[in-house]
Structures are given as C-alpha cells and as structure tokens.
C-alpha cells in the first residue's frame, strides 16, 4: 500500500519519512546503496521494511512457541495470546505505519470517493442479477440459492469486468 500511495500521488515520501519504520529502512537502503533515488529507493525501502517484519514475526513466533511449548493443536488454541505475532517493538512500529496509512491514504477523500462508487457498482450488480438470473452464466443462474449465486458470481469478477457488466446492465458509467 505504501508504494501504491506514493505512485498515486496521494502520499509523499517526505510524509512517509515521519514514520519510524519507514525512515529506518529508508536510511538503511541509502547507507547500503547511496546511488539509489526515486522509485528504486522507495522499492528498496519497502523491501527492507517487509523483510524486517517477516523476520520479526518468525523470531517472535519461535520465542512464543518456545515459551508455550504446545504439545498439540488444542494446546495452541488454549493459549492466552496468539503464538504467531510481532515482537512488542515491531507491533508498535507497524501499528504506527497502519495509523499513518489510514489517516493519509485509506481515508483520503479521493480513495473514499472511489470506494463509494465501487460499492454502488456492487449493489447495482447484485440487484440486477437477483432480479434477472439469466444475466449470469448458467452454472450460477441455475443454483437454488439466488443470493449466494449472485454474491459468488460477483466475487469472482475482476474490477474491469465488474465495471463493464455494471455499464451493460444499468447503462451507468461510474468509472
């Protein structure tokens, strides 16, 4: 999501550098590769950040398993805390990044507008297929549970196909 946000112009690298987790790996990438700039620097920063998170989960999970020593699956289910987890430090730093992304990307007015139009496409498609199942392929149209068939058919669509189907069925162009 970080690269999507920067590529779309909704967030700037300078904003991202306010987040400790990003700043640390941006500096690390620059220290290792001083010639990097632009997209390549961003991608290397993201690669390092994701690697650090993956290794942290592996290490923290290994430590939690060593502490809990579950003998069977039911013992894992009875544990007070999840065994697969970040360390406390990485959890805090990842949470800070998530908060940043929610505030600056996911809740950006442009993203909210697109989301609202996408939700309308889904509502309209569902209504159109529920009203006339013959608009779906026969293997979906013939199912006894009409609502489940509509939902399953829509869930399997790509964004582009859903937009085209919406336009075909409603005559409206929301995108």
State pLDDT tens for residues 72-121. 999 999 999 999 999 999 999 999 999 999 999 999 989 899 999 999 99
What pTM was estimated for this model as a whole? 0.71
pLDDT at site 7: 87
- Quick one: three-class SS letters along 92-109? HHHHHHHHHHHHHHHCCH
Q: What tokens does 122 get? A: 């889904």
Mean confidence (pLDDT) of the chain:
95
Q: What tokens does 62 get? A: 């290994």
Q: Smallest Cα–Cα separation from 1: which of 110, 86, 108, 101?
A: 101
The phi-psi region of residue 171 (left if phi > 0; otherwise alpha if psi is between -120 and 50; otherwise beta) is: left
Would the CA dihedral through 131, 137, 138, 141 be positive or negative?
A: negative
* Largest interatomic CA distance in the chain: 62
- For 111-146, letters b (16+ CB in 10 Å) and e give eeeeeeebeebeebbeebbeeebebbeeebbebeee
State pLDDT tens for residues 52-84. 999 999 999 999 999 999 999 999 999 999 999
Is residue 140 very low, low, confident or very high in pLDDT (cuts 50, 70, 90)?
Answer: very high
DSSP-derived secondary structure letter, 9: T
pLDDT at site 34: 96
Q: What tokens does 150 get? A: 């509509």
Is residue 13 very low, low, confident or very high in pLDDT (cuts 50, 70, 90)?
Answer: confident
DSSP, residue by residue, 13-73: HHHHTTSHHHHHHHHHHHHH-TT--HHHHHHHHHHHHHHHHHHHHHHHHHHHHHHH--SSH
pLDDT at site 163: 97
pLDDT at site 37: 93
For the cut 90, the answer to whether the pLDDT of residue 29 exceeds it is yes
Is residue 32 very low, low, confident or very high in pLDDT (cuts 50, 70, 90)?
Answer: very high
Cα end-to-end span (Å), the chain: 21
């Amino acid at each position: 999501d970080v690269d999507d946000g920067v590529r779309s112009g909704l967030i700037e690298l300078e904003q991202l550098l306010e987040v400790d987790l990003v700043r640390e790996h941006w500096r690390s990438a620059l220290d290792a590769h001083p010639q990097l700039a632009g997209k390549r620097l961003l991608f290397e920063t993201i690669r390092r950040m994701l690697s650090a998170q993956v290794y942290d989960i592996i290490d923290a999970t290994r430590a939690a398993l060593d502490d809990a020593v579950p003998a069977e699956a039911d013992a894992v289910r009875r544990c007070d805390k999840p065994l697969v987890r970040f360390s406390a430090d990485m959890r805090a730093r990842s949470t800070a990044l998530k908060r940043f992304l929610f505030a600056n990307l996911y809740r950006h007015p442009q993203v909210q507008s697109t989301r609202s139009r996408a939700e309308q496409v889904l509502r309209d498609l569902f209504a159109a297929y529920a009203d006339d199942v013959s608009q779906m392929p026969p293997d979906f149209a013939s199912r006894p549970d009409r609502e489940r068939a509509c939902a399953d058919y829509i869930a399997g669509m790509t964004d582009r196909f859903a937009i085209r189907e919406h336009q075909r069925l409603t005559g409206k162009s929301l995108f």
